[in-house]
Amino acid sequence: MAAAMDMDGFDVWLSDKLARLEIDQEVFGTYITGILETDDSSYDDKTDALVGILSEIAEESVQETCEEILKKWDESQKLAIIKNEEAKALEKEAKEQAFTALLEKHTSSVTKKEVSAEEKKRKEALLAQYAELSDGEEDEDVEDSVEDCAYLKENNSSIFKNTNKDDIKDAEKAKREKSKMEHEKKKERDKLQREKDKQKVIDRKDKEKKRTQKQERRR
């Protein structure tokens, strides 16, 4: 079975065929191709036209040569259609791949921004948890806590993965506990202050009483 050919392949084949039939390709090749390219002509019309021209220039096998030319032409047309569809499919695939790559790049960029924002929040929560001073704590203790936190993150980063919500929750809990402790301490300080104020009043009264008694004795 003859191999299918595209338009260029058909022209090469026709040129070789006419040369073997000792027909001038430059004169009749273009004429034959013109008959085949006529869109408004039916298969029978093209056959009649080819038989008519070949009968005048070929000595034998006119019908066989005509059928062979028509067959090769039909094969070249089908192959041209297939190649055109393949080209369209490749172009479509290339566009889809380009769009997918662009979408992935955009998605990756957005994800990185979101991760960066979440990472920032997590760091702030950790710093809030480990760096806040309670009453009576020294700055050195805070620095140690922050350094310990950084050391844990650097040497065991897995414990910090996917813990943003837990970290924030723990930080909020720590703040509540600290606030509660500060409230209790404030109550205790207020109580002590009231007792001190009360004692001062008592002391002033005693002092005033003694001063009055002393003045009375002098009289």
Q: What is the per-residue pLDDT across 144-164, written as a single tens digit (0 to 9) for each?
A: 554 554 554 555 555 445 566
Distance CA 215, CA 204 (A): 16
- According to DSSP H, which parts of 132-163 are helical? 139-155
Both tokens assigned to 73: 């032409």
Residue 189 half-sphere exposure, CB side, CA atoms within 13 Å?
7
- Which segments in the chain show pLDDT lower than 50? 1-5, 134-135, 138, 140-143, 146, 149, 152, 159-160
The encoded tokens of residue 155 equal 């040497």
What's the confidence (pLDDT) of residue 106?
78
Is 29 within 8 Å of 15 (Cβ atoms)?
yes
The pLDDT value recorded for residue 5 is 46
What pLDDT sits at residue 2?
A: 41
Alpha-carbon span 192 to 189, nearest angstrom: 5
Residue 150's pLDDT is 54
Structure tokens at 76: 């070249």
